Chains A and B, each alone.
Chain A
Amino acid sequence: MTADDTDLLLVERAKRGDTKAFEMLVIKYQRRIERLIARMVRDVDLVQDIAQESFIRAYRAMPQFRGESAFYTWLYRIAVNTAKKALVDLKRDPLVTESARASANDDDDETSRVERELTDGETPEAVLASKEIAQAVNAAIEALSEDLRQAITLREIEGLSYEEIAELMNCPIGTVRSRIFRAREAIAQRLRPLLDTREGERW
């Protein structure tokens, strides 16, 4: 089974009504989809809306997904089309955007406060939090033993399978599986304090 196979299994589950399986796909791909849309749409407030709409469209269209392409490729196309449609709609009705921007810039407007709470695309806090995550991950990688660091790097950055890593590292597949898991747990240990300090939000 490959990572693509995992996606197909999750899609099949979601088609049969398991929304949590679909959530697993959302959690997996949401960051990449938002980055993709952010490259097309400059308004950071719109990026999250379009990403949400993209996942909703993917959810609706799932019965048509037959696995002929990778799930992410299919999702990618939906996100691009959704972003293009949003851009066309914005050109057709620019007043909506201007009013939204005006209210977002108006500190006295009560609605602007709500909007700022709901969006954290480019806020200093969000940028700082992102830097913290990147630093924590990098520090955790540096602190790993050579075996664990090599295993997680070959998997996550090089995209090799357990079998390929086992060949490269001259060890059994079970050892590869163990090393990758322990590497992830060591990194997660560094991340969890950052994750748990977010108040009022639960998975």
Chain B
Amino acid sequence: MVSDGFDGPGIPGPWSQAKNMQSDPHPSAGTHRAALSQLVDGELPAGELSAVLAGFRQHGAARADWHTYHLIGDALRSDELAVAPAHDERFLQALRLRLAQEPLPLDAPPRLAEVAPQPSAPAPDTEPAVPGRRRGAHWLVAPVAVAAGFVAVAAVLLVNQSVVTPPVTAPTIAQAPTAPAAPAVLVRDAQLDRYLAAHRHLGTGLAGAGSGQRSVQIVYEPK
């Protein structure tokens, strides 16, 4: 293994060297740059991100370093991306002016409520191209949607109950087809009628006294 002597994570050795390279208004510029370098590469430990972001917020030098490191990478990958830094600065400044006019794109609903009363926040753009502009409407509609869901479930239960209940109280052995195109021929037999009447009486008794009249329709399909 070859080591330059800077193997431990968080060791300030190389960064103090970098700090001496030039004056910087950021008091811990060397350390900060080293962390920025790691962040550029996606190798910064997650726990150190807050400190780097704080430095980025507070120091223009940190923002310039972040830009420089990315510009170096872009320039190494393609000459097309070796853009004049002044252009990038103007781009960011112009974008800041526009972002200042935008409401915060907050994710959590409670924060929406916090942002809404801000007088400086303009009315949301109604342009349909970006779906994120209708979050407020979603927030208001949600309780109504939940209530509507309950109503829908209750309606389905009622319908199912009304469909299932009738066969219990009015048993039907067979039902004539509703289409009148080919009327069925009903054949009655006196012996069979007496048999059914006896069993109807027995069935009524088994089902419980006072259950009222029950009718049984018998249809013989023609063969």
Contacts and interface: CB of A to CB of B under 8 A. Distances in A.
A179 B135 CA distance: 46
Interface string A137-161: 1000100000100001101110001
Interface in A13-43: 13-24, 26-28, 30-32, 34-35
Contacts of B92: 23, 26-27, 30, 203
Given A118-B90, A198-B89, A3 B42 contact: yes
Interface string B73-94: 1111111111111111111111
B53 interface: yes
A134 to B, nearest CB: 4
Interface string B41-57: 11111100100010011
Interface in B28-52: 33-34, 37-46, 49
B106 A63 contact: yes
B218 interface: no
Contacts of A28: 66, 70
B79 A134 contact: yes
Contacts of B91: 26, 30, 34, 48, 51-52
Contact of A172 (B7, B39, B79, B125): B7
Contacts of B96: 23
B212 to A, nearest CB: 62
Interface in A156-203: 156-157, 161-162, 169-175, 177-182, 184-185, 187-189, 191-192, 194-195, 198, 201-203
B14 A182 contact: yes
Contacts of A202: 60, 89
Given A23-B92, A162-B43, A185-B18, A203 B105 contact: no
B71 A32 contact: no
A77 to B, nearest CB: 12
Given A26-B92, A201-B90, A203-B67, A32 B83 contact: no
B22 A189 contact: yes
Interface string A109-148: 0000000001010000110011101100100010000010
B45 A171 contact: no
Given A133-B82, A175-B6, A52 B132 contact: no
Given A174-B11, A181-B34, A6 B53 contact: no
Given A120-B87, A126-B84, A174-B11, A59 B105 contact: yes
Interface in B1-36: 1-4, 6-9, 11, 13-15, 17-18, 21-22, 33-34
A17 B84 CA distance: 30
B12 to A, nearest CB: 11
Contacts of A32: 74, 81
Given A22-B99, A133-B82, A133-B83, 4 more contacts: A20-B53, A63-B106, A120-B87, A181-B33
CB-based closest 5 A-B pairs:
A129-B84, A3-B42, A174-B7, A178-B6, A134-B82
10 contacts: A27-B63, A51-B91, A56-B95, A56-B99, A57-B129, A129-B84, A180-B37, A188-B69, A195-B68, A201-B93
